[in-house]
Amino acid sequence: MLSVPIRIFMPLDDTMRDLNFCDMTPDKTPSTSNGCSGQSKPTFMATNKKFLFSLVLFLEALVIAFALMERFPPSGDDYSYLYQAKLFASGELYAQDALYDGANPLHNCVGTSCIADNHGRRFSKYPPGWPAFLALGALTGTPWLIDPILGAILVFLILRYVGQRMGENLVNVAGTLLILCLFVCYYTASLRAHIACALFVFAAFLAYDASQQRPQCSRLLLFGAGALLGYSSMIRYLDWIPLAAWIGVVLARRKMFTQLTFFAIGFGLLATGNLLYDTLLSGHPLETPTALNHSPGIHDRLMVSWTGLQLTGVRLVNLLWVFPPALLLVVLWKRYQPSSKVNMYLALFLMNVGIYAFYPAGAGGPGPRYLLAYFPFLILAVVDVRRWINHDCGAGPRRLWTLAIILQIVASVSFVTKESYASYWRRDLQ
């Protein structure tokens, strides 16, 4: 075996190396054909790098939570989740008090429409999974800490997967994309459920992926994948569907019905928590808190409509605004030939987009936040584009990558500026 010297780089140095010259050969061994020496990095150094990127995102989220939001719920969704978390922390499912006075100017900012009032029982209109997590922070007086911790864990899992399945030299690319995307950091700093749901969905994907690598443990791993997706349904009602459908179809096509049964049992055990919660609130297992909220018009309803298709287009445009590197998948599509694994990433993400085409209206508008649960898969697809650019070594794609990174920085500054203005405006009415 060819022995090569071990050289230790700081993560930013590695990132610049990856962004410019070094490439990977198909067997994931660093190539020396372009003058870059191969690197055989100790496992602990690779792990430390992943921890470092996770720590950076964690600190970014805390800066946003303290400096931008000042630990004030920036939306009605945040307020609703925090309200329910405080109820859970006090051992209650609901409160029995009046809604805020609609004449109060704060009413329009905290969005009391996100809190249901059903026969004198007041509670959040959202499922209980995320408030249950947030209740841990409410008990300790640190609800602002829960999402950043989960976000850091999510980043570590993404980078670990990239290192194992795509190559350690691409960890810097994935980590840089994540910490430069302040859209992700902003929701990691919030009190909303999107990052927690993304964590559970991605963890379920990792369990499914591991089941493909370890057939002897496939039943247990698929049971775990089902349980993780089941709990994700208690965080957000719809986001479990794409991955569950994908896993179910794959197992059925392979006639792995025993494994499919274990997956379904794991999902059912956790997902039925929604039915129990609904029964305790309303006395009917299929009457959700969202239904009890009686939102006007088409809000909080699933339907087929032209409006849903239009809003899906708006969501995708907004997604490109907050994450411009995704444009590379479109611009380079004819030259870039994705592997079956990358096609799976894109299929899962697009299935998530398709699911929300049936959700034509929400109180917060058609933001790209609805797509956050499968955003890690979009990151993985873009990272693979970078791998292809490294291998291609063409000047044109490399310039496009550099432009995409510059646009990402500009987009992040624009996004944070916009959210800062909105946050300060809301606090002026506090």
Tens digit of pLDDT for each residue in 71-102? 778 787 888 899 999 999 999 998 875 544 55
pLDDT in tens, 99-146: 445 555 555 554 456 777 666 678 888 999 999 999 999 999 999 999
Whole-number pLDDT of residue 71 = 78
Whole-number pLDDT of residue 69 = 83
- Domain holding 391, by residue range, is 40-70+142-428
Structural domain count of the chain: 1
For the chain, the 3-state helix, strand and coil shares in percent, each to the nearest 5, are: 70, 5, 30
Task: Evaluate whether residue 32 is within a structural domain.
Answer: no
Token reading at 286? 């299929």
Distance CA 75, CA 77 (A): 5
Whole-number pLDDT of residue 393 = 64
Task: Evaluate whether residue 29 is within a structural domain.
Answer: no
Distance CA 153, CA 51 (A): 9
Task: Evaluate whether residue 135 is within a structural domain.
Answer: no
Strands (E), 271-425: none
Distance CA 2, CA 106 (A): 67
Distance CA 331, CA 313 (A): 18
Among candidate residues 180, 157, 168, 184, the one with its CA nearest the CA of residue 17: 168
374 and 349 Cβ atoms separated by less than 8 Å: yes
**What is the separation, in whole angstroms, between the first and last Cα of the chain?**
67
Task: Evaluate whether residue 354 is within a structural domain.
Answer: yes
**pTM, to two decimals:** 0.84
Distances (CA, A) of 158 to 73, 162, 390: 28, 6, 20
Task: Evaluate whether residue 398 is within a structural domain.
Answer: yes
Distance CA 140, CA 58 (A): 19
DSSP designation for 118: E
Task: Evaluate whether residue 134 is within a structural domain.
Answer: no
Task: Evaluate whether residue 266 is within a structural domain.
Answer: yes
- Segments in the chain below pLDDT 70: 1-42, 44, 97-113, 117-120, 293-301, 361-366, 393, 424-430
Task: Evaluate whether residue 313 is within a structural domain.
Answer: yes
Q: Give me the helix-helix angle, 218-233 and 194-213, nearest 10°.
A: 170
Among candidate residues 347, 407, 419, 430, the one with its CA nearest the CA of residue 192: 419
Query: What phi-psi label fits residue 255: left (phi over 0), alpha (psi between -120 and 50 degrees) or beta?
Result: left
DSSP 3-state assignment of 407?
helix
